[in-house]
Amino acid sequence: MDVRAAVASRLGADTRSLAAFRVGVAGVVLLDLLLRSRYLGAFYTDTGVLPRDVLFAQNPVLGPLSLHALSGALWFQALLFAATAVAALALLVGYRTTLATLVTGLLVVSLHVRNPLVLNGGDLVLQMLFLWGLFLPLGERWSVDALREGPREKRVTSVATAGVLCQVVVIYATNAVLKLRGDAWLSGDAIQYVFSLEMFVHGVGHWLANYPALLVAFDTVWLAMLVGSGLLLLVTGWPRALLAAAYAAMHVGMAATMQLGVFPLVAVVALVPFIPSVVWDALADRPHRPVVAGPRVARVQEALRARLPLVSTPSLPPDALDWGRRALTVALAAFLVAQLAYSAASVGLVPVPDAGPLDGEEPEARWNMFAPEPLSVDIWVKAPAATPNGDLVDAFHGGEFTWDKPPDVSKTYPSARWRKYVMNVVDADDQSVREGFAASLCSRSPHGRSASVTNASVYSVEQPTRLDGPEPTNRVALAATNCST
């Protein structure tokens, strides 16, 4: 095999995998919108936890650029959510795929900028997937565009395919380097600590937490997979398919045991471009088992092709198109190199020059999930509030207030984003962020509240996690507000 073929087999992608990737990205966006919409007012309006004036003070550069920050009204946010859903549906069916990718990606980034306090690593990964996806032929297969424009290529190799594949390996490899610097992952205790964090654990995780030997085994296996993640780029064919499936299975396991929102799903979707052609060819060869585009799906696609308007875009002269493609290739290659260099510098693998925006300082590592050490403190919220008749109620959860530890800490958070928000509030240096949380509880609570309140206070109760020995709690006052003013 010559060098070009070897590179293509490792850094290229089957267009059927890219089509499945397109559907996965769109599906994640739609699910994320549905989950976020439950707390639309709390997270994205001026009466919620982060009014626009606080956002602009916290993020004066990017905050005002968010479309979602143009208005603090609930109806405006609902309108933008609906627009994002329409764009994601267009991406899902592959209608004007490149345009749909651009519009959906921009609206998703705008949503993320509107409230950075609820974001996690999965949101950053999703942004990167949209960036690379914009330059990938996501509509080559199983799309309305493909039905209109005829047969397409089976496999493509470009800087963009290399970028979307390398992005996944960079995330795993960076996380591996950071984990190797901690003692807990090398000793096998890390996942035991993670599963002792009651604010994360749910579902099967409660059962699994009772088997420390099994957790130690998972610790070893996952760390080994992270260290060996470069194999995803080196192997091809069925070995690559099995390896990608193993990583996906680990992320599915995370979703079944920990409250992480859509993060595991984003990670699984990011692995889809690794699916090699042999998988799709084997599925297509199975008798009486049509793949993806079965008769019913084909009829739906044909109906969409006939009914959706054909939107034409301006065409450029051939010379201009050729020049543009070359310039784009160079720009994407430079961006990919910059990404690799940034990730390497963030873990100290390459020196940072004294001259430049970082001025010799090591950049913050982006992919530090549970690394170099897992979190060691459980946190839950207590929000006592007084009613006009003097009763004390729970302004965050509803019902009668008590300082008792909840029986299931993870259930005290309405969603994974609420937990992330609370953790960011606890770590916030700016008191206005904490005060925004307290003020928002005057008018509503995530769990619902039947009684109006005259004042509200917010406390975090912190409990260190230990594999043996007592775990004392520490009550920290975060903010208080007068709801009558």
pLDDT at 369: 83
Nearest residue to 193 via CA among 178, 176, 179: 179
pTM listed for this prediction: 0.90
Q: pLDDT by residue (tens digit) across 31-49?
A: 999 999 999 999 999 999 9
pLDDT at 269: 97
Instruction: Name 216's Cβ contacts closer than 8 Å, sequence gap at least 6.
Output: 188, 189, 191, 192
CA distance 38 to 332: 37
Mean pLDDT of the chain: 86
Buried b (16+ CB within 10 A) or exposed e, 197-228: bbbbbbeebeebbeebeebbebbeebbebbbe
β-strand pairing of 384-386 with 455-464: antiparallel
The answer to whether 13 touches 156, Cβ cutoff 8 Å, is yes
In what helix (H) or strand (E) does residue 455 lie, and over which residues does it extend?
Answer: strand 455-464
Quote the Cα angle for 417-176-245, to 5°: 75
pLDDT at 420: 94
Of 151-155, 218-222, 309-313, 393-397, minimum mean pLDDT range? 309-313
Nearest residue to 33 via CA among 78, 74, 75: 78
Any idea what DSSP says for residue 362? Answer: P
What is the pLDDT confidence band of residue 237, given thresholds at 50, 70 and 90? very high
Residue 273 has pLDDT above 60, yes or no: yes
Of 1-15, 41-55, 261-275, minimum mean pLDDT range? 1-15
Phi, psi values for residue 244, rounded to 5°: -60, -40
pLDDT (mean) for 128-143: 92
Residue 303 has a CB neighbour count (10 Å cut-off) of 11
Instruction: Name 239's Cβ contacts closer than 8 Å, sequence gap at least 6.
Output: none
- 3-state SS class at 386: strand
Domain boundaries, the chain: 1-157+297-310, 160-275+318-375, 377-482
Q: 3-class secondary structure for 6-50?
A: HHHHHHEEEHHHHHHHHHHHHHHHHHHHHHHHCCHHHHHCCCCCC
What is the pLDDT confidence band of residue 296, given thresholds at 50, 70 and 90? low
Phi, psi values for residue 464, rounded to 5°: -65, 140
pLDDT at 294: 47
pLDDT at 3: 77
Give 293's Cβ-side CA count (13 Å radius).
15
pLDDT at 319: 59
pLDDT at 301: 59
Q: pLDDT by residue (tens digit) across 97-106?
A: 999 999 999 9
CA distance 434 to 422: 9
Strand partners, 155: 14
Q: pLDDT by residue (tens digit) across 385-405?
A: 888 887 888 888 888 889 999
What is the pLDDT confidence band of residue 92, given thresholds at 50, 70 and 90? very high
pLDDT at 341: 82
pLDDT at 293: 45
Q: 3-class secondary structure for 213-231?
A: HHHHHHHHHHHHHHHCCCH
Residue 321 has pLDDT above 60, yes or no: no
CA distance 106 to 109: 5
What is the torsional sign of CA 162, 167, 172, 177? positive
β-strand pairing of 392-394 with 384-386: antiparallel
Distance of CA 484 to the CA centre of its chain: 38
The answer to whether 61 touches 177, Cβ cutoff 8 Å, is no
